[in-house]
Amino acid sequence: MATNMFHPCSVKVVADESDERTCFRTPLSGRYSCPEMSANFSEVKKFSTWRLLWVYLARAEQKLGLDITDVQIEELERAVNEKINFDLAAKEEKKRRHDVMAHVHTLAASCPNAAPIIHLGATSCYVGDNTDLIVMRDAFDILLPKLARCIQRLSLFADEYRDLPCLAYTHMQPAQLTTVGKRVCLWIQDLLMDLKGMQRTRDDLKFRGIKGTTGTQASFLELFDGDHEKVELLDRMVTEMAGFKRNFLICGQTYTRKVDVECLSSLAALGSTVHKLCTDLRLLASFKELEEPFEKDQIGSSAMAYKRNPMRSERCCGLARHLMTLVQDALMTHSNQWMERTLDDSSNRRISLPESFLTADIMLSTLQNISEGMVVYPKVIERRVNEELPFMATENIIMNMVKFGADRQECHERIRQLSQEAGMRVKSEGLPNNLLDRIKGDPYFAPVKSCLSDIMNPKKFIGRAPQQVGKFLELEVKPALKPYANQMNEIADLDL
C-alpha cells in the first residue's frame, strides 16, 4: 500500500556568504560573545597591530641611522588606522601561501613610498609573535577586572551571611556546622589565588622583540654594519614602544611556547575554581538553600513548568571543562617545537589561544552575573540544620553530663543507643529526627534537660567562622582588590 510518509535523512543547507547563519559560527563569538574580548582577538586587531609594529620598527631604524624618511613613516602611520583591504590580502595569501607577506604587499599597495622599507630586516615572527604577546597582555587586562568584580560581589555576600549557620559537608555527608559566609570565603580564597596567578602571568610577559630569523639578530647586525650596540638599542626601543618593560634576551625564531603554557595554565586554574564553585551552587540549589538569579519570565524546563534549573552555574561548569582542556594544546605544542621552531604550532595556536581567553571571559561574565543576584533561603537552611543538629550536639551533651558527675563512657553508650534508634526512624520510616525528644524523655539525662535548648543553639556549633570571615575579608580580600577600585561599577547583564 502506498504511503505519503516523508523520511528525510538530514536537512541539507547550502552555505551562503551573505547569510552567516548558513555557516558554522563558534558559540564563543556568536551565542556567548563578550564584545571587548571578541574584538581583541579579531582580524582587525591582529593586522592593525602588525601595521603598528612595522611603524615601530621603521621609527627605531630611522632614529638609529638607516635611510628611512619622515614621509615613509607618516605614510605607514596613516595606514594603521585605515580600513584594511582584506579582499586584496586574501588574494595575496592565496597567491603567496604566506600570511605575513600577503599583508606586507597589501600594506605596500596603500603605502607606495614606504613599500621598500616595510618589514626591513624582520622575520614573520616579528609581527606574528609580538602581536600574540600584545593581544594576550590586553586579554589579561580585560579578564582581571572581571575576576576582581566577581570576588568583590562574593565578598559582600560573604560578609552579609558571615554568621548564618548551615550544614557543612565532608564526603558529601553532613558534618559539623559552618556558615554561609564562611563557605563563600572558601570560593573567594581560590579566586584570589587565580587573581594573583593571572596577574603574575600577565606581568611576566616579555616581548619577543627584534631577533631575526633564528633569534640571532644576524639580519639587523648586517643592516647596522656590525654595530652590536645599535642592534641592542633597536630591540629595546621597539620593546618600549610596544609597552613592555622587558624582552627575551634569548629566543629561536619564536618566543618560547612555554609562555603559552603559562598563560593557558593560569586560565585552566581559573576554570577549575569556577567549576568547583558552580558545582557547589548547583548542589545547594538542589537543597533549595541557595539559588542563582532566576528572572521573572525565565523558563526552567520546556516540559516541567515548576523547575528552576541553575542554568548559569551549569553554563559555567561546561565552559570551565572546555577551558581546562585547552592547556593540553599549549603543552603539546611546546613539547613538539623542534630546534628553533616548527610551523605545526601556528594552526593550533590560532584556535587554542583565542578560545582560552574567550571562554574565560564568558565564564567570568556569567559568574559575575550569578554573584550579583544570589538568593538565600534561611528557613530552608534552618530546617536542614535542625534535622541533623541533634546528632551533632551529642558530644556537647556528653560533656555537659560529665560536668554534672556522669560517667563519660556510660553517657556515650546511652546516647549511641538513642541515636541509632532515632536514625533508624528517619531512614526506615521517613519521620523527623526525634533524638532530642528521646534524650529529654530519658531520666538519665535529667541533669541537662533544662539547658538542652542552649546546647542546641546552632551558633554554638559554628566556632570562629564569623570571625574568620571578617579577618579574611579585611586582611586578604581588600588589599587584593585595591588595584581594581576604579573598575568595580560595571554590572554583568547576560543576553542569554
Helix (H, G, I), strand (E, B) or coil at 12: coil
Is residue 103 part of the annotated active site? The answer reads no
Contact 433, 390 (CB under 8 A): yes
Closest CA to 261 of 362, 200, 335, 355: 335
Displacement of CA 491 from its chain's centroid (Å): 17
Environment class of 294 (CB within 10 Å of its CB; exposed 0-12, middle 13-18, buried 19+) = middle
Separation between Cα atoms, residue 115 and residue 5, nearest integer Å: 66
Per the structure block, which three cell numbers stand in for 340? 628553533
Contact 306, 337 (CB under 8 A): no
Q: Which residues pair with 178 in a beta bridge?
A: 166
Per the structure block, which three cell numbers stand in for 232? 641592542
Decide the pairing of beta strands 165-170 and 375-376.
unpaired
Displacement of CA 158 from its chain's centroid (Å): 21
Environment class of 456 (CB within 10 Å of its CB; exposed 0-12, middle 13-18, buried 19+) = middle
Is residue 301 part of the annotated active site? The answer reads yes
Name the CA radius of gyration of the chain, rounded: 31
The Cβ-side half-sphere exposure at 161, using a 13 Å CA radius, reads 24
Given 7, 10, 18, 171, the catalytic residue: 171
Displacement of CA 171 from its chain's centroid (Å): 27
Amino acid identity of residue 432, one-letter, is: P
∠ CA(289), CA(292), CA(294), 5° rounding? Answer: 110
Separation between Cα atoms, residue 383 and residue 144, nearest integer Å: 39
- CB count in 10 Å sphere of residue 382: 16
Question: Sign of the C-alpha dihedral, residues 323, 326, 328, 330?
Answer: negative
Contact 219, 212 (CB under 8 A): yes
Per the structure block, which three cell numbers stand in for 240? 618600549
Amino acid identity of residue 23, one-letter, is: C
The Cβ-side half-sphere exposure at 112, using a 13 Å CA radius, reads 0
Closest CA to 79 of 48, 104, 45, 53: 48
Separation between Cα atoms, residue 364 and residue 153, nearest integer Å: 12
Separation between Cα atoms, residue 366 and residue 203, nearest integer Å: 26
Contact 270, 147 (CB under 8 A): yes
Active site residues: 171, 301
